[in-house]
Amino acid sequence: MELNVRAGESFWYYSNLFGIPLPLIIDSNPNYSYNTLQIGAPINIPGYEIQKHLINSGDSFFSISNQYQINMDVLMRMNPEINPNNLPIGQTLNIPQFLISPVVQVNTPYTSQNLQADLNKLIQLYPFIKRNIIGQSVMGKELTELRIGTGDRVVHMNGSFHANEWITSPILMQTINEYLIALTSNGDIRGLSMFPFYNTTTLSIVPMVNPDGVDLVINGLPEEEPFRSDALSINNNSYDFSGWKANIRGVDLNNQYPALWEEEAAIKPKEPAPRNFPGYAPLTEPESIAIAELTSQNNFNMALAYHTQGKVIFWGFQGLEPPESEIIVNEFARVSGYQPIQYVPSYAGYKDWFIQDFRRPGFTVELGRGVNPLPLSQFDEIYQENLGIFLASLYM
């Protein structure tokens, strides 16, 4: 939401007026210096959107401000063309409303188009979010990283490496949304105050690593060639893509990392397939390259890759994981009920490479239980389980 600056107003004024922590006001307006707000210029107020109120007989600014629990001065400023002493019946007023519920779409299969729409909404509502385009998919779809927070400690999370595990994307997005609401309201989640983490921890989140594959599983074959013909051929001419994990070229993005890749390649398919083909070499696909470059260019203290299914958390690789990984995963298990598993005979995953190259805590979190793609009927249960893991990633 935007307001126009008036004489004598400051970031402190807006923070007090709306009850929003001062750093969030400052970070939502990066074009302004702290002490010089330009009179008449717009200023962003995070967490608010404009609703409409139809003026009825007997309405007044006083009664409307009480009805919506908003400051009357703010109400008058949002409606400068309205005479406060003579409200015109039948016209509408702009009502600034703080959003207390998430706005992301979680009741429908979550395509890359759903993701982009939700990203746009969140960035408009919470302009202190930083949005970075870290690359493009094979088909040219943007790979987006969100950054939230200013802390030196950086926690990375990603979802939908695997196409038919797309439910991880809306899980991450709603989790982010709930965190943003708690930040702007100076509130808590499960009794834990959120705003202090904004100053200590920076979140790096890539909600959808594999948009082409996700769209293939949900929407079926694309119209564009050669992707349409190639995907159909790789899928043995079947139009059922529910078992498809790979990117649009039939490469499993989570088998693409140079962490014993040769051992993985020796036992996996030797050509493009709906699942498990690790490519002809490590890091050949633009999606896996984008995540690798993002990771290499940043100093992530911890990384969580979200998958489905099994309600387990994989946390080790070849004995290279640091000692604190076990402490962290045991807390993840406590708050989620998931089972920690240190080692499995599987290699070349993002978590494996992260542990190997950076010797930092890395985790593969397998949400939910059942047959992929997991149904949306499991969303609420999975969401609550992961919320504990998300919070623990902030305080551990």
* Tokens found for residue 8: 């004598």
Nearest CA among 143, 132, 116 for reference residue 289: 143
Look over the chain and give the mean of its residue pLDDT values, rounded to a whole number: 96
Please, are residues 254 and 161 in contact by the beta-carbon 8 Å criterion? Answer: yes
Q: Are 277 and 252 in contact (CB under 8 A)?
A: yes
Domain containing 200 equals: 112-213+282-395
Domain assignment of residue 187, yes or no:
yes
Average pLDDT of span 369-377: 97
Which pLDDT belongs to residue 49?
93
Domain count, the chain: 2
Residue 77 shares a structural domain with residue 141: no
Q: What pLDDT shows up at residue 37? A: 86
Write down the pTM of the prediction: 0.94
Q: How confident is the model at residue 336 (pLDDT cuts 50, 70, 90)?
A: very high
Asked if residue 273 is part of any domain, the answer here is no
Check whether residue 316 and residue 384 sit in a common domain: yes
pLDDT in tens, 39-90: 889 999 999 999 999 999 999 999 999 999 888 888 988 898 999 888 999 9
Q: Does some domain include residue 49?
A: yes
Which of these three, 98, 132, 158, is where a domain ends?
Answer: 98
Last residue in a domain, options 66, 98, 130: 98
pLDDT at 340: 98
Q: Same domain, yes or no, for 76 and 201? A: no
In the beta sheet, which residues pair with residue 203?
A: 148, 155
Please give the pLDDT value at position 24.
Answer: 97
- Residue 177, pLDDT > 80, answer yes
Nearest CA to 94 out of 53, 57, 66 is that of 53
For residues 17-46, average pLDDT: 90
Alpha carbon of residue 369 to chain centroid: 22
Active-site position among 145, 287, 366, 385: 366
- Do 92 and 30 share a domain, yes or no? yes
Judgement on whether residues 121 and 85 belong to the same structural domain of the protein: no
Q: What is the pLDDT of residue 260?
A: 98
Residue among 132, 137, 150 nearest 205 (CA) = 132
Q: Mean pLDDT over residues 155-159, rounded? A: 98
pLDDT band for position 212 (cuts 50, 70, 90): very high
pLDDT in tens, 278-324: 999 999 999 999 999 999 999 999 999 999 999 999 999 999 999 99
pLDDT at position 95: 94
Q: Is the pLDDT of residue 31 over 90?
A: no
Q: Is the pLDDT of residue 140 over 80?
A: yes
Q: Is 347 a catalytic residue?
A: yes
**For the chain, what percent of residues have pLDDT higher than 70?**
100
Annotated catalytic, 366?
A: yes
Q: What is the pLDDT of residue 85?
A: 87
**In a shared domain, residues 175 and 201:** yes
Whether 120 and 86 map to the same domain: the answer is no
Please report, for the domain that includes residue 78, its CATH number: 3.10.350.10
Considering the domain architecture, whether residues 299 and 384 belong to the same structural domain is answered as yes
Query: 246 near 213, Cβ under 8 Å?
Result: yes
> Which entry of 48, 179, 347, 383 is annotated as an active-site residue?
347
Residue 36 has pLDDT above 80, yes or no: no
Is the per-residue pLDDT at 366 higher than 90?
yes
Gap between the Cα atoms of 142 and 134, Å rounded: 8
Does residue 222 fall inside a structural domain? Answer: no
Judge whether residue 34 has pLDDT over 80.
Answer: no
Residues 125 and 192 in one domain: yes
Report yes or no on 323 lying in a domain: yes
